[in-house]
C-alpha cells in the first residue's frame, strides 16, 4: 500500500512540475507568443494578397507602372489589423485612431533580369500622405479612407548596394 501511495505522489509531483515548466515556457520565455505581445501591434499582409483575402482585410488593387520589369510585384489597399490574442490566425481590425487603412506591398522583389539581387523600395515623396511610419524597416503608408489621394512614387534600390537607385515605381488608384 505504501508503495502505491509513493508512486502516486511521484506521478502527481511530476505532473505538477511539468505543468509549471510548460506554463513558464508558454508565457514567459522569449520564444513564446505571449513574450512578444504580438497582439498589441498593427501589422499587415506584406503583399500577400491571398492572405489579405483570407483575413477579409483586402479592399482593392492599385495600379502601378515601373521603369524596370518587376517579378511578382503586388500592391493594394487593405484594412489595418492586429493579430489575435492567442495566435496569428485571428484577425482584429484597427478601430482606434484615424488611420484604419494601409497600403500593402511585397517589400522584397527581384527584377526578372537579375533574379539573384533583391531590391527594396523607398518612398520618394513621403510628405503627401496621411501617415507614414519612418521608423519601420518596411514601407508603412496609413490612410484615413481607403483611397489614394495622390500618386505614390517608390525608388527601387538594390538591397546589396543601398545608395544605387535602379528604377522607380509609380502607384495610383
pLDDT confidence of residue 109:
47
Average pLDDT for residues 28-34, to the nearest whole number?
65
Higher-pLDDT residue of 30, 92? 92
Q: Give φ, ψ of 156 to 5 degrees.
A: -95, 125
The 10s digit of each residue's pLDDT in 105-159 is 876 544 454 554 555 666 666 666 656 665 554 567 888 889 888 888 887 776 6
Most confident of the following: 56-60, 128-132, 162-166: 56-60
Tell me which DSSP letter residue 69 carries. P
Q: How many CA atoms lie within 13 A of 98 on its CB side?
A: 7
- Total number of residues shown for the chain: 173
5/134: higher pLDDT: 5
172/133 Cα distance (integer angstroms): 20
Cα–Cα dist 125/139, whole Å: 12
pLDDT computed for residue 129 by the predictor: 63
Q: What's the confidence (pLDDT) of residue 32?
A: 64
Radius of gyration of the chain (CA): 23
pLDDT tens per residue across span 65-101:
988 877 778 889 999 898 888 888 889 988 877 888 9
Burial class (CB in 10 A: 0-12, 13-18, 19+), 23: exposed
Amino acid at each position: 500500500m505504501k508503495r502505491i501511495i509513493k508512486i502516486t505522489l511521484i506521478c502527481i509531483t511530476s505532473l505538477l512540475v511539468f505543468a509549471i515548466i510548460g506554463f513558464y515556457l508558454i508565457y514567459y520565455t522569449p520564444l513564446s507568443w505571449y513574450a512578444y505581445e504580438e497582439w498589441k501591434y498593427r501589422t499587415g499582409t506584406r503583399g500577400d494578397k491571398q492572405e489579405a483575402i483570407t483575413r477579409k482585410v483586402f479592399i482593392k488593387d492599385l495600379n502601378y507602372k515601373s521603369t524596370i520589369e518587376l517579378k511578382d510585384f503586388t500592391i493594394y489597399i487593405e484594412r489595418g489589423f492586429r493579430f489575435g490574442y492567442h495566435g496569428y490566425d485571428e484577425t482584429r481590425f484597427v478601430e482606434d485612431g484615424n488611420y484604419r487603412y494601409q497600403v500593402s506591398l511585397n517589400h522584397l522583389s527581384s527584377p526578372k533580369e537579375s533574379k539573384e539581387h533583391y531590391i527594396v523600395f523607398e518612398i520618394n515623396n513621403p510628405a503627401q500622405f496621411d501617415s507614414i511610419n519612418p521608423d519601420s524597416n518596411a514601407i508603412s503608408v496609413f490612410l484615413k479612407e481607403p483611397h489614394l489621394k495622390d500618386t505614390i512614387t517608390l525608388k527601387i534600390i538594390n538591397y546589396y548596394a543601398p545608395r544605387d537607385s535602379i528604377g522607380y515605381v509609380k502607384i495610383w488608384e
